Structure 1
Amino acid sequence: MESSAADRPQILWTPPPEQVAACRLTDYQRWLRERKGLGFDDYHELWRWSVAELEDFWRTIWDYFQIQADGSPEPVLGGAGMPGAEWFARARLNYAEHVFRQATADRPALVVREEGSEAREVSWDELRRASGAIAATLKDHGVRAGDRVASYLPNRMETVAAFLACASIGAVWSSCAPDMGISVLLDRWRQIEPSVLLATDSYRYNGKVHDRRETVEKLLRALPSVATVIHVPGPLAQEGNLDWPGMLPWSDAVNVEPDLGFQRLPFDHPLWIVYSSGTTGLPKAMAHGHGGIVITHLKTLALQHDLRPGDRLLFLGGTGWIVWNLQVGGLLVGATIVLYDGNPAWPDPQALWRFLDRHGVTLFGCGAAYLVACMKQGL
């Protein structure tokens, strides 16, 4: 039974024709018509083709975004059964290589704001040097492709640099936010046995300093696989010497000759491990591969979010939430990612909105709880 016009949701906004003409999705449709002889009357026809002709669709995404890889993109899909489907089995690539091909001196890679501090811009050159130095340090400490690296860090430049360092050498990243407690951390990291832990001593939230030193000490006693701890200093870094076994200060870890090569890996080589909520037992560890994330984030962020060089992306969330991973993906399309660490309503409910305006954020994402809180404040 078809619904009447009165039953249909009201359209709140429609993009003007000039915006539609200039968006990335329109450019992709134009490319399909000119390069592949594929024409579609509207978005829904394009969508139906994309889900009906999986191999053709994803091969065009590969070509349109000029994926850099060794080997061949053919066959696109080796068997469609689940589980067992194998995508781009003959291709080898690297996530970090696709990030740094966007490097430019014309705009920053990051804008970083930590609670209690002024925001600062991080150039692509600074990000490259930090990532290259951490990659060299990890290799010097025996980390190889497939080894797991755990991160217990806030939403800072160091976190992004360390992640890209891991990706460049094929180490597998696993991040938890510093507000997570010891049992939550161990439920996740005991499953993957990390050899390196990046950890902070403390962080600021809602105008207060939160001490994480004891939590890190408990982690190290419970995770015998950890041989090296890279300490990223927080507000309490100067209050006494830390005695974490295998500790290497961040300042030492980046004070080496950068070595940012890009090891091209099988398409499904794990890039990071994320986790389910753990409401029905232990959190389920889920590995996402280099290739799947590269091609999916390019498609999602460029075509569906119309993100491009010159845009600024901020997704409000901690480093233990999957949207942090998506936000870093903004670098794949040349956008500047904006890291906002701290309470968005401190020192007042309009703090984040002023920040978004001041720093020219063009794409903003958040959870519903923040919007509800703003509504209650009359914003």
Structure 2
Amino acid sequence: MTAVSANGKVHEKHENGGFVNGHANGDGIASIETPQPIYYKVPQNLETFELTLRKHFEEKTNQKFADYRAFHRFTCDNYGIFWEELLKISDVKLHQDYHQVIDHNMKINERPKWFNGATLNYTENVIERGTATDVAVLNASIDESVVDYTYDQLRKDVYRTATSLRNYGIGPGDTVCGFVPNTYDTLVAVFATAAVGAAWCSASVDFGPAGVLDRFRQVHPKVLFTVNHVTYKKKLIDQTDKINEIVKELTTLQIVVVSDTFTSVKFDGTKYNNSDKFVSLEQFKTPIDDVVLPFVYTPVPFSDPLFVMFSSGTTGIPKAMVHTVGGTLLKHIEEHLVQGDSKKHDRMFFYTTCGWMMYNWMISFLYSKGSVVLFDECPLAPDTHIIMKIAAKTQCTMIGMGAKLYDEYLRLEIPFNAIYDLSRIHTVYSTGSPLKKECFAYINTYIAPGALIASISGGTDIIGCFVGGIKSLSITPGECQCLFLGMDIKSFNYMDEEITNSDEQGELVCVTPFPSMPSHFLNDMDGKKYRDAYFARLEPFWAHGDFVRVNHSTGGVEMLGRSDATLNRGGVRIGTAEIYSVVEKIPQIADCIVAGRLVEEGMDEEVLLFVKMVPGQELTHTIQAAIVSKLRNDMSPRHVPNKIYAVDDIPYTSSGKKVEVAVKQIDPWFSLHFLQLKLLEMDSLKAAVDYSKRLEMSQSMYSSRSSAKQTSSSTRNSHKKNNSTKEKEPTQITASNCKNKIEEYKRAFNFFDANNDGRITIDELEKAMQKCGQRPTKLELRLIMYHGDNDQNGVITFDEFAHLMNGTSSMNQYTYDQLREQFDMFDKDKDGFIEKMEMLSIVRELSLQASFPRQVVEQLFNEADIDGDGKISFEEFVLAVN
């Protein structure tokens, strides 16, 4: 039996009347039968666009395809014919016809152009197909209010905005940017930009100015669309300061258009710097009576820019990828009409921000003549039900979100379909990271029983998907159903050979061209960035960077994580998703992230596991033993991590992917040294400095363990235990003490120095810490800058950074007396030595157990105890701090 409490949480009920989660039977809880997941089954007499297309090709080629997999193989072997026929059968409107589909003599790494000679307009194709009186857009808000816009209203607003853009001289070759939320006004701006043949790029309003400028500076925009305020968690947030900072740096801007439609605060241009550039959206739009009708769209070549998309920026300045008008449109048609079987009556609600490619994917859904639901608020706070409330109110037939959000719903155990009418939902999309088997069961039990779960995977790089769902196949929980048509996907092993064994894991590779490849990267004149991103690994094939297992029995694909974050234990590659699937089932663990690091002795890797504990839980020896046991028994001994650390939070990208690569590139001692500062509860700068000194002393011992290990035997012998010895001159620690760390410091410094100018600013510091999942306060950032900026000129140079990491910053000039004072603090019984229990006692007194669990303290102690006598002398202490 199951019980549903008043707050909508599911409680499993046993025969003895108790509940799994410990809740006793109580008032307001009604028992119901425990539901079981109802997975999607292929209906009899199924009629879909894909089956129609399959029949079309059977008649055209006079052959019979046994199943979807046979049809997929045909579309890959005949990719030119497939994409050409799709363009025709889906009624893409061309202003000028093509004279060549593609040069089949060119390989995928040569980036052949598609439909040469053809011209078209993206917006015209997407918004002119729907019936004028049908609803095109539903704009939802946190208060559950919904505003509908018909296709007629949408077109008129696009015409008005596009006319104004033309009046400012905007057209092909120009770029328009949006620092915007996911609202109707944004949608109009995107379509208006494409209507006049210009390119669009956007950043989500939760980005800071530095992140926005890293992206927008690359495209030299002439127009910026933005908003005066946003709401988040029901709080009204003024964007003025952010906008002023952004506009100040974008010197090519002619005009800034500010929307105030969805807030209670109206536009006031006087509060902006350079106020002459600012105008409200309503002032900007040309009156409909002044728009020349019928509106004339600007046709552009098939391979002209439509969207400029950006990489996540985890390894430097985000790469700017240019996606084409025709390639984007045709790929999205295939995914919405063919794979998704979207129809006129369908209503899509995909939760996304404007900084994620799923936004661009979602708006193309209007090609199906259906409608889209827009929502930009927090999906979990203050209302964990808000997404499903909106889905029910707008009568959605298709919903989607990042897999991480389904994880949260699973954790909360909310039986949404028992609370809201979600009966119209026939397709549930998930992306951003692998969808767990448990989430498949939860979705088909408590959200949409019997619905098709389309776990899709692709990326910003292709502005679409390689794998996903299809209605003509049944699903296997934990797998993406199928390879998408026209996408010639293979899996290659570590020997760079195609895998035909369903049990072997490998790298996802595409071997033939497809229309939605980026035409180029910006600021990449010789194409090196492009080649390095996709072809350097397995040239001439496209290596996408995903680690997968292709199930040759079902045709499905199991996503195992990023291949550049894949673990390598003794030559065997391990997908990080396998570790997550085990560890995240342990009740005391809320989340985790894993990274591999090459050991100095060879090419093997040590595996580092970082866990976020459930509130009130600590990473005890018992829990660590449970982690090790579960991984060893459920997976293999190779899956067992070398070290386990408790951390405050787990870093994610805006699309819900764990930032494994950034974690992998930062040594754990390095990230802990900086990021644990976030855990400090500081009432004043003085308290912060005092605390930091104590924390830093312990951190220094940890981060310097390699230096201590490498001390030569002759040096060891020269440091005899003589506790009465004093230096005549103060001994200060210098950068020369950490020569063996210089290369590591350089890599770490470059991670922080985003613009590669040889200096770390406070903005760069904040951004780098945010990439690692931290949200430092201004006080914490100022403390770190003060700590490392020796000459107090507002930036940290590499020399200062090296001193900082080596323990010689302006706050860490340890003289003999300071070192003796610190040693005496540990030496509680004053016998001239630090023993292990004394070190553990100090860690407890300073409340540093979270940063330094017992196994870490013991490791520090053992590495500082150079002669292995079970205690640390003053000389050994000095070497450890050095």
Alignment TM-score, normalising by the size of structure 2 = 0.41
- Alignment match, 2:101: 76
CA distance in 1, matches of 2:127, 2:413: 42
- Alignment match, 2:368: 333
CA distance in 2, matches of 1:238, 1:87: 46
- Alignment match, 1:258: 291
Contact 1:130 1:258 in 2 (8 A): no
Contact 1:29 1:39 in 2 (8 A): no
**Which of 250-259 and 349-358 deviates more?**
250-259
- Alignment match, 2:57: 32
**Matching of residue 177 in structure 1 with residue 204 in structure 2:** yes
Quote how far apart the aligned CAs of 1:255 are.
4.0
Contact 1:167 1:271 in 2 (8 A): yes
- From 303, 308, 313, the counterpart of 1:268: 303
- Alignment match, 1:211: 238
**Which of 42-51 and 348-357 deviates more?**
348-357
- Alignment match, 1:149: 176
Report the AA paired with residue 209 of structure 1.
Answer: L
CA distance in 2, matches of 1:294, 1:303: 13
Quote how far apart the aligned CAs of 1:102 are.
1.3
**Matching of residue 237 in structure 1 with residue 265 in structure 2:** yes
**Matching of residue 316 in structure 1 with residue 351 in structure 2:** yes
Report the AA paired with residue 291 of structure 2.
Answer: P
Quote how far apart the aligned CAs of 1:137 are.
0.6
**Matching of residue 62 in structure 1 with residue 83 in structure 2:** no
**Matching of residue 161 in structure 1 with residue 188 in structure 2:** yes
**Which of 252-261 and 216-225 deviates more?**
252-261
What CA deviation, in whole Å up to 9, does each residue of 1:140-164 have, x standing for no partner? 1121211010001111111111111
Q: 1:349 to 1:366 in 2, by over 3 A?
A: same
Contact 1:107 1:310 in 2 (8 A): no
CA distance in 2, matches of 1:38, 1:270: 38
Report the AA paired with residue 263 of structure 2.
Answer: P
Quote how far apart the aligned CAs of 1:246 are.
0.9
Contact 1:111 1:336 in 2 (8 A): yes
CA distance in 2, matches of 1:168, 1:198: 16
CA distance in 2, matches of 1:348, 1:100: 33
**Matching of residue 370 in structure 1 with residue 409 in structure 2:** no
- Alignment match, 2:672: none
Contact 1:201 1:236 in 2 (8 A): no
**Which of 343-352 and 166-175 deviates more?**
343-352
Report the AA paired with residue 250 of structure 1.
Answer: L
Report the AA paired with residue 237 of structure 1.
Answer: V
- Alignment match, 1:43: 68
What CA deviation, in whole Å up to 9, does each residue of 1:42-81 have, x standing for no partner? 1011000111111111111111112211333342102432
Contact 1:77 1:88 in 2 (8 A): yes
SS in 2 for 1:39: coil
SS in 2 for 1:71: coil
**Which of 101-110 and 42-51 deviates more?**
101-110
Question: Is there any run of 5+ residues in structure 2 with no aligned partner, and where?
Answer: 1-37, 415-882
**Which of 174-183 and 79-88 deviates more?**
79-88
Q: 1:117 to 1:137 in 2, by over 3 A?
A: farther
SS in 2 for 1:191: coil
SS in 2 for 1:121: strand
CA distance in 1, matches of 2:79, 2:202: 32
- Alignment match, 1:248: 279
Contact 1:131 1:258 in 2 (8 A): no
**Which of 206-215 and 181-190 deviates more?**
206-215
Quote how far apart the aligned CAs of 1:349 are.
1.5
SS in 1 for 2:331: helix
Q: Whose RCO is larger (CA < 8 A, sep 6+)?
A: 1
Contact 1:211 1:236 in 2 (8 A): no
What CA deviation, in whole Å up to 9, does each residue of 1:332-353 have, x standing for no partner? 1212011112122344222211
Quote how far apart the aligned CAs of 1:33 are.
3.0
**Matching of residue 223 in structure 1 with residue 218 in structure 2:** no
Quote how far apart the aligned CAs of 1:84 are.
3.2
CA distance in 2, matches of 1:35, 1:264: 31
SS in 1 for 2:72: helix
Contact 1:134 1:258 in 2 (8 A): no
1:350-365 correspondence to structure 2 within 5 Å = 350-365=385-400
Report the AA paired with residue 300 of structure 2.
Answer: L
SS in 1 for 2:392: helix
Q: 1:100 to 1:16 in 2, by over 3 A?
A: same
Structure 1 residue runs of 4 or more that deviate by more than 6 Å after TM superposition: none
**Which of 111-120 and 216-225 deviates more?**
111-120
Contact 2:120 2:299 in 1 (8 A): yes
SS in 1 for 2:314: coil
Contact 1:135 1:258 in 2 (8 A): no
- From 338, 350, 354, the counterpart of 1:303: 338
Report the AA paired with residue 84 of structure 2.
Answer: R
Quote how far apart the aligned CAs of 1:16 are.
1.4
CA distance in 2, matches of 1:38, 1:170: 41
Report the AA paired with residue 80 of structure 1.
Answer: M
**Which of 231-240 and 198-207 deviates more?**
231-240
Q: 1:317 to 1:100 in 2, by over 3 A?
A: closer
- Alignment match, 2:419: none
Q: 1:38 to 1:171 in 2, by over 3 A?
A: farther
What CA deviation, in whole Å up to 9, does each residue of 1:285-319 have, x standing for no partner? 01111100111111111110111111001111101
Q: 1:211 to 1:71 in 2, by over 3 A?
A: same
SS in 2 for 1:77: coil
1:104-119 correspondence to structure 2 within 5 Å = 104-116=131-143, 118-119=145-146
Quote how far apart the aligned CAs of 1:35 are.
4.7
Contact 2:336 2:365 in 1 (8 A): yes
SS in 2 for 1:70: coil
Report the AA paired with residue 223 of structure 1.
Answer: L
Question: Is there any run of 5+ residues in structure 1 with no aligned partner, and where?
Answer: 1-10
Quote how far apart the aligned CAs of 1:115 are.
2.5
Report the AA paired with residue 253 of structure 1.
Answer: F
Contact 1:59 1:73 in 2 (8 A): no
Report the AA paired with residue 252 of structure 1.
Answer: Q
- Alignment match, 1:194: 221
Contact 2:347 2:372 in 1 (8 A): yes
- From 156, 159, 168, the counterpart of 1:132: 159
SS in 1 for 2:51: helix
Contact 1:153 1:200 in 2 (8 A): yes
Report the AA paired with residue 67 of structure 1.
Answer: V
Report the AA paired with residue 159 of structure 2.
Answer: G
Quote how far apart the aligned CAs of 1:118 are.
1.1
Report the AA paired with residue 71 of structure 2.
Answer: L
- From 107, 122, 125, the counterpart of 2:149: 122
Q: 1:16 to 1:213 in 2, by over 3 A?
A: same
Aligned residue pair count: 368
Report the AA paired with residue 248 of structure 1.
Answer: V
- Alignment match, 1:4: none
- Alignment match, 2:324: 289
**Which of 321-330 and 247-256 deviates more?**
247-256
SS in 2 for 1:174: strand
